[in-house]
Amino acid sequence: MAVAKGISACCPVVRLAARVYMLNTTNASFTRPTLSAILAGVMLVGMLTSPAADAQSPRETAVVKAYREASPSVVNIHGQKTIRATAAGFAGASPDSFRQVNGMGTGVVIDPRGYIVTNFHVVEDVADIRVTLNDERTVSAELIAYSKPDDLAVIKIDAGKPLPVIRRGSSKDLMVGEPVLAIGNAFGYENTLTQGIISALHRDVPVNETQEYRDLIQTSAGINPGNSGGPLLNIEGQMIGINVAVRVGAQQIAFTIPVDQALETVTSMIEDYNRKRSTLGIEGLFATDSLDLQVRQANATQLEPGDRIIRVGERPVNDRFELALAALELTPGEKITMSVDRGGEHKDYTLVAGDPVAGTRNPTPADIVWEWIGIRAEPLAVAAARQMHGRGYKGGLRIISIRNGSPAARHGIEPGDVLLGIHEWRTASMDELEMIVEHPDLQRIAETKFYVYRSNKTLWGYMQLADRPVSRR
């Protein structure tokens, strides 16, 4: 659980203990009902439960309809994670001892094949992610992609049948004061519905020294531990955000990642996941003001720059998010139909998914750094290098780009950081960085220590490396 400055991720990692007390009926007195009373009661129940009565009932409000539509797309996530006993708050625990604690959160189905979006802190370090569906079945999930700085993750389950998908809204036109709903696994009470309003927009919320949520929605809807990763809905039942944090000690102050921001991050994560498995030969895409997805550059011989993609296989496509989902699970050599609009003319083409590795050049050290660690770096300018020398460092490499979803991104490394060292070696020059990634000792370990310099502070951590690019020499 990330907690700092009174902000808490709305996903607990402590065992929930709750008691539900039933009303005492031992002193109740009863009288024998007469036949006429029974018949009158039956007639009344029939009238109240008839379809005509339901259709006209003022009880069936917009809130009821929104919950009814959205709740089948909301899942409950739970599992155990190992943390230091002192971090879990166990009194008298040794700093080196670890405990198993229960965690829980919420997720939202974004694809009928079982792809689910949640917060990264819900599934972080959970060995066996368990998902309970709306029909009360529980299945295991696989972590597909995640971004630690953005606190978002995509997991995959095999439900055995298509799942209902949440209906997406937009966070561009939100209004302070408009009613909103939240569905989640609040304190372990599955599928809990709460209601409130949008209290404010564009909130920046610091969590700790290395992470800050940006441009969040503030809401008064009841967000509790276990709501993390669940949807914030507008009154029409459309998802407008992903619930992420609450203000510790406050009432009705909670925060949500806007849906447009969340889906942009999720799209990049899925694209990166797809890119490692197959390619459709489309190197650049952009969305026009009308959200039409157009090809900017195409290596596929049949497509042309300017083609407007309207369908992939059987799936309509309007934006990058829908294209990324359509390309999920494609394997090299698999054929798929792509429909495009070219100058008002409808055209269908059959593309063959390619192997992203076959036929390409051998990876350079810079390629390996980008794929394996997820950074691009450059030597420091002379003045900056002189400042580093004055602080006792031999030098470093300024990070200029981070690959979304990479180990560097997941561990909070940012553009502008100065990379000081990896494992046991310093990174004062590009030559030293290339030597490090080619060193056999680094290739044998799955997790390595790193050091960066940021805002006059030296930071360090451990990152789990991605799959190393295969050399074809």
d(CA 195, CA 74): 16
Instruction: Give just the sign of the alpha carbon dihedral 269, 270, 275, 276.
Output: positive
The C-alpha angle 232, 233, 236, rounded to 5 degrees, equals: 175
Report the catalytic residues.
121, 151, 228
At 316, list the tokens: 């309509």
d(CA 207, CA 453): 20
Phi-psi region of 456 (alpha: psi -120 to 50; beta: other; left: phi over 0): left
Per DSSP, the three-state class of 58 is coil
CA dihedral of 211, 217, 221, 223, whole degrees rounded to 10: -20
d(CA 219, CA 184): 15
The C-alpha angle 63, 155, 417, rounded to 5 degrees, equals: 105
CB 15 within 8 A of CB 102: yes
Q: What is the DSSP string of 61-112?
A: -HHHHHHHHHGGGEEEEEEEEEEETTTTT-TT--TT-EEEEEEEEEEEEEET
CA 193 vs. chain centroid, Å, equals 21
Q: Which of 363, 372, 359 minimizes the C-alpha distance to 471?
A: 363
Q: Which of 11, 270, 322 minimizes the C-alpha distance to 155?
A: 270
d(CA 241, CA 261): 9
Q: Which of 417, 398, 395, 396 minimizes the C-alpha distance to 461?
A: 417
d(CA 285, CA 404): 17
Q: Is 66 exposed, middle or buried (0-12, 13-18, 19+ CB in 10 A)?
A: buried
Per DSSP, the three-state class of 387 is helix
d(CA 217, CA 262): 12
The 8 Å CB, 24+ separation contacts for 436-440 are 437/365, 437/368, 437/369, 437/372, 437/373, 438/365, 438/368
